[in-house]
Amino acid sequence: MLIDEISEELRAIVGENWVITDPRAIDPYLFDKTEPYIRPQPIKEVIVVKPGSIDEISKVMKLAFASSIPVFPRGGGTGLTGGAIPTRSGIVLSLERLNRVNIDKNNMIAEVEAGATLRKLIEEAEKNDLYFPPHPGDEGAQIGGLIACNAGGSRALRHGTMRNSVLGLQIVLPNGRLVTIGGKALKNNMGTNFSHLFIGSEGSLGIIVKAYVKLYPKPRFSATLLFPFSSPNDAIEAAMELLWNGYVPLSLELVDATSMRKTADYLGLPWKYGTGEVYLMILLAEPNQEMLYAEIEGISSILSRRTSGEPILTERREEQDEILKIRSEIYSAYEKNLFEGLDVSLPLGEIRNFLEMLNRIGEKYGVKFPIVAHLGDGTFHPDILLDSKEKDVLVKVREEIYESAISLGGSITGEHGIGYTRRVYAEKYLDEGLKELMRNIKKAIDEKGIMNPDKFIP
């Protein structure tokens, strides 16, 4: 095998211990968090390489380029579309050893190596009284992976997706060349800003090795509000009124009561947060108490006109953490019975129409969807549960949900990306001109097609 022939050269670059060829040690690198029913079959004839520096990554890429060997960049392996799963014989390039975080407090910036986990970045920022707002659900994700997927999460409403947090990037191109784009300055018009080409490119154009990301002073005062409603439509109308009145909370989530209670149960926690069919869950974070209270008052006066019961309002840290934990673990609570977790995104004004379409799809196929949405930014997570249905039926359900989102001017993915599992739908729904551009840019940067083949590019 070609990769066996280069294993000695790889060892010479990264050191004996960091080239993995034992099948048992390779196994954890063959999967990500994509549901077993939809993920690709991994190719086991791979070598896992764990470089310890940017220079080593550059040398590994030069070697792979010279031998035309496919390279599969791997971050925290929390992806949900099979993006990090090797689909050809080649190198799985794990960034895990490149995990340094340097907090530049003075400039309110973190200089982060790609393999640092989100958890580590959050902890290091907090030690300096700073905070990194983007928070996709799994803190084991790495900064490189988050940037490669342009990850979102519930706080995207106020702070945007990863794209909005990245000021500078260092990338190793497929031929091994290191490129630096941007840096620490908030504004930078010197040269073409190609960073947005790489952000969200899912490992198809190069290896992200380092990033400069924006940090913010840690908000000193926070509150979590749970408003119960008797129907999703009431909750959506109330949320839209909030947005129309100019309120931009840290996050504005829609969750059904069944999912919250089920997850509390799964975590062994009592549910002590009231009754209702669905909840608007609102997170607030402000630099002073006056601002926080003014926000709570304004929001409550708008929402209380439509709620179905007493809202829960808590400023106690432990209670806020508990509610957030329950919300964050909904995915895990359903995981065993999950065919596929979707992440369609909608224009805000179409959310109600989407929900109606979702109900019709549910009735047609006899399935029920948990209602879980980052409502404030229009991202819906209609989890397709197994519920003893045939795979063909579940695929039809997925396709009708995609069709609905597209017909309303939305997208089949607002967060998890295309990866392997959505490539066929990217082919179907992407604009012809855009597909051509994507292929041409891929060819220009990755002329031998070695970067994460079979993924992302339609």
**Residues contributing to the site for ligand FAD (CB under 6 A):** 32-33, 72-80, 83-84, 95, 114, 136-138, 141-142, 144-146, 148-149, 151-153, 202-203, 207-208, 331, 415-416, 419, 452, 455
Phi first, then psi, for residue 377 (nearest 5°) are: -115, 10
Instruction: CB nearer to ligand FAD: give 163 or 396.
Output: 163
Q: Where are the beta strands (DSSP E) in 76-206?
A: 90-94, 101-104, 109-113, 130-131, 166-172, 178-182
Q: How far is the CB of 374 from ligand FAD (least distance, A)?
A: 7
E strands in 315-422: 338-341, 344-345, 372-374, 379-380, 383-385
In a 3-state reduction of DSSP, which class is residue 59? helix
Cα 403 to chain centroid distance, Å, stands at 22
Smallest separation, CB 370 to ligand FAD (Å) = 14
Cβ proximity to ligand FAD, 160 vs 298, nearer residue: 160
Q: Which is nearer to ligand FAD, 19 or 418 (CB)?
A: 418
Strand segments (E) across 230-277: 251-256
For residue 418, the minimal CB distance to ligand FAD (Å) is 9
CA dist 217 and 330 (Å) reads 29
Burial of 93 (C-beta count, 10 Å sphere; 0-12/13-18/19+): buried
We find the least distance from the C-beta atom of residue 393 to ligand FAD, in angstroms, to be 25
At closest approach, how far in Å is the CB of 130 from ligand FAD? Answer: 21
How far apart CA 196 and CA 194 sit, in angstroms, is 5
Residue 164 CB burial class (10 angstroms; 0-12, 13-18, ≥19) = middle
- Cβ of residue 65: shortest distance to ligand FAD, in angstroms? 15
| Both structure tokens of 355 | 């929900």
Q: Which is nearer to ligand FAD, 91 or 238 (CB)?
A: 91
CB 75, min distance to ligand FAD, A:
2
- Which C-beta is closer to ligand FAD: that of 170 or that of 307? 170
Taking a C-beta distance cutoff of 8 angstroms, is the pair 350, 408 a contact?
A: yes
Position with the least CB separation from ligand FAD? 145
Q: How far is the CB of 390 from ligand FAD (least distance, A)?
A: 26
Q: Which is nearer to ligand FAD, 155 or 306 (CB)?
A: 155
Contact 425, 52 (CB under 8 A): no
Nearer to ligand FAD, 83 or 182 (CB): 83
Q: In the complex with ligand FAD, which residue's Cβ is closer, 212 or 295? A: 212
Q: What are 236's two structure tokens?
A: 């959506």
Q: Which is nearer to ligand FAD, 168 or 276 (CB)?
A: 168
DSSP secondary-structure letter at 79?
A: -
Min separation Cβ 445 and ligand FAD, Å: 12
* Sequential DSSP letters for 157-180: HHH-SGGGTEEEEEEE-TTS-EEE
